[in-house]
Amino acid sequence: MVVIGVVIALIVILGGNNYDSEEFFEVGGDKVPSVMNVIGEKRKISGVTISSSKSADKMVVEYSVSDNQGDEMEEYAAALVKDFDFIALDEYDFSGKRGGGFQFVKVSDEDDDHIVMVTIDFNNSGYKLTIERREGELNIGSAGNNDDDNNGGDDNNNGGDDDVNNGGGDDDNNGGDDDDDNNGGDDADATPPPDDEPKEDLVEVICPAPLLGKSVEDAMANAPAGVTVVSMSSDNKSFTLELTEERRQQLIVESRELTKGIIKAILDTTPGVEEIYFVEERFEEIRMIVNADFEKDENSEKKWQAVGALAFNGPMTQVWLGTGMNTLVDVQWFEGEDAETYWSVKSPDCYFN
């Protein structure tokens, strides 16, 4: 097996107490307001995950909030747009019991070649902010007048109205004082044109339940952006997830990078770990070579954090590859390269057992 190095660092923080009082979250030098900053009250943060690579920095902040989740996210989203220069990439609606994938983006304050994106997901257990800073450009329509396009005072190619090629104080191709369509009265919208853009087909993957939570609500809170939790199996052992094929391919890459980042962090911070071997394709076996320091009582917490991080995140590459309930990662540790005796934790079996 080959160890493949990558310039990436990762910190997994099990609790969020250190972040509850923060006014801003800093990602790659850019600052994004916290929920406390916007609503003026602390909210419990149950977990924070931070990762970075050559191409992007990412921070996932999970809030545990028992009520008014949608109202608070409505207020937070409005503040992002009004007070912190973010742009909503699409319409957002926080009126239901759950929702997700609401994205807001701005140009980095530190580097014009980077953008900062905030994705909001929420349900009746709380909400999750996914903050990413990556290379990219934000192109906004520009014009030399108080409108959107090539005209002198309106929105499109006309002289004094709102939208399209007409000369009246209306919206479309007519000369009447109307609202929307090709008529001369103050009428309601006509039937909107059909959506000619093809809908991308969705695919389903099966995820062993312990990797996402104990309920559909937990799973929705923990699922990555762009993933919908369709259902939980009758035996409560798996979730059915739905996403686009493009997003599935992205998550395969992201989960590999995340697991490699965890491995790098373990090598850097866990006492007694000398080397880690793995095959990047599926991470079916992750072998740690350790010395006696790894088993010392004073290092027990870091030891099990390391084993737990690999057992929890390692299987996700297989999940996105479609292995379903056959997903299995064997986390092993040996005291020395040539040792015959070793210890093993198999995931997700360890959670079921």
**pLDDT tens digits, residue range 12-64?**
444 455 678 889 999 988 999 999 999 999 999 988 888 876 667 889 999 99
**pLDDT tens digits, residue range 185-220?**
444 444 555 555 555 689 999 999 999 998 999 899
Instruction: Using alpha carbons, select from 104, 105, 328, 118 the residue that is nearest to residue 208.
Output: 328
Task: For the chain, give every domain's residue range.
Answer: 1-140, 246-352
Is pLDDT above 60 for 151? no
Instruction: Using alpha carbons, select from 58, 327, 44 the residue that is nearest to residue 210.
Output: 327
pLDDT confidence of 11, banded at 50, 70, 90?
very low
**pLDDT tens digits, residue range 238-291?**
999 999 999 999 999 999 999 999 999 999 999 999 999 998 889 999 999 999
